[in-house]
Structure 1
């Protein structure tokens, strides 16, 4: 993929993302800002019972309920895991306001199988090469360095080290037919360079050949596992009864899960919506009013659809002005959100049903479109009006209550034509991109 700003058709074109210009000129976001999100995710996972136990989403969404049941079962038995690892990606768009200003607004935080860290590590070289071919060496030098795969592997390596067994390995839980394998291999190769062995197994393999000893150490094919890295297990279709049994086995183990099931639940849409309620951040981040204010400034409007007056009002407003809202289910993986007339039809169907509690409404973020050229294999290059989405990769590692690592490790930029309301790279809608600082 190559993304350039449209200029004269006879002149070399330059890589450009206008939304990043807005960020650099109008808002300041330091590493502390991104790190606060990772810290918040950990606090949420530790306080999950207080946030989610009374949630109607737990009662109405079978998949979320099943995850929460495993979480409660592990709590009852006692958590064997002492080291906690988060490899997250927080996604944002730049809201374009009527006065011409822009504001960074969070779309979601991905706490399980946050993808494209490997491929995003390689796109800067692609854009530098294209610019150098066009004799734009100064512009090529300005392409930001970006290596999320190295940073994500660093987090896994630190968790592996703290686990404390030199012969233990990393277990990557993979899908049977993985389309995004090269993204994953980039992280595997970084670990291999650190002399950390990685094996890839399906849930079915874990069910058949995984086991726990009396200390709840996890073994796979007779080898001790230090870290379990999930690149599967985030949507209902990925779970058979056998797979649910395998997930429970993993959660009961002493191995470091990335993520543990509480952290996976902390990334659900319902928890995101609950965090936006007045007073919730203040409880999770006591005596940190500046952090609370800065985090809250990134929230778009988030609305519960629980049964009652609040949910009724949110539904009525969305039906009356559908272009201002997005309907989100408790699902990961992209392509699940509903917009426009499709959203209205869903809300009309759901408004008198308790099933509506398994969704949230979100204010639709409206970035400023820009013209660029999108390239895809097998398709002609075309200049279209686009919008971009910025993802920030983050790593945290905790040993007990001690924070060992908390840092952002790179970024992901995805660009798509404005004609597409939903869908990402895997769906063939968005393309991988790079910010171009000006």
Structure 2
């Protein structure tokens, strides 16, 4: 189980460094992979201390008639943070790297304080789904605005996040009888070792330069000739189409040179606009200081919001004692999940399928009131679909199964692995009934 704990923390800290690494590189830092590895090892040390020292000590005290473990017992699990403290005090570290290290260190301390030594497949799916969307936008933005050098420093952490997420999600698909098997543990340890070696290699400038050389050779010798042929072919086709357009305009009593005049007119307008727009830069040091302070505050707020978002997905401390050896296969309650366009949990997908059924119901002429329950909507659907080719009993069966999955996910937060796909099949069948009704 320790390797999965390691992967969980490695993914979360690498997620942070995939974005914070660019800010650190801008101010003279750039170490992203090694701090994430160190904090992940600290997390494992704290988990082992909690399991083998703190928890047994609490049990012995309970048997002796005392209900608490005492301050010394609770303190033992924090000893795993000592390597991170020593790393923070190392001389020669860039100030930007030291400041960036403080945020994940504080997050790890909060996780240890809450005794969050659990794993959740749905939580990791949500984190990974959020990462690739956010990092894609981030990388595209840096590329457009000329920040390719900063983006290069974040690529190792991003690759570690992706690889660690794949290893972790693949392991969490199985039950404890699978991932506790000796062969599976040996294979997992081997894969984790490869991940650590790859992370260390990606943090070395020589390896990155070698990868850039290989990528440049592939681009120049393989992709550029193919793209050149495609672009030339597209230019030839576009020229033919333009000549055809000139010919058609000539048939319509328009002189061919009119097109050139129109193009020249728009070109002249563009040149005039270019000459009009002047970017002023007075180089005022006051404004530079103001924008610098605003940027620092924005980065601090973003880091705080990110780690608060991670902590919102962690279980409460009151259930931590039973969950030290437990993998949570159930999604968290709806009121503990942050909303937004990045959410992609099974419960959310089930509700999206139900909303698609409601939209189809309204498009086919159904009337839905805000006070209507799912039972009332099912009755209205049966009335609306009367006269379809299939029987009413079949439609009623699909509606009943759809309501069962929706109500269980919406109000009891119980989602099975096959529920999203089953919900999609049932809603598709109901929508097919609605679309096939006569008239």
TM-score range, shorter chain: under 0.3
Structure with the largest fraction of strand: 1
Based on CA coordinates, which of the two structures has the bigger radius of gyration? 2
Q: Choose between structure 1 and 2: higher helix proportion.
A: 2
TM-score, normalised with respect to structure 1: 0.22
TM-score, length of structure 2 as denominator length: 0.22
Bigger RCO of structures 1 and 2 (CA < 8 A, at least 6 apart): 1
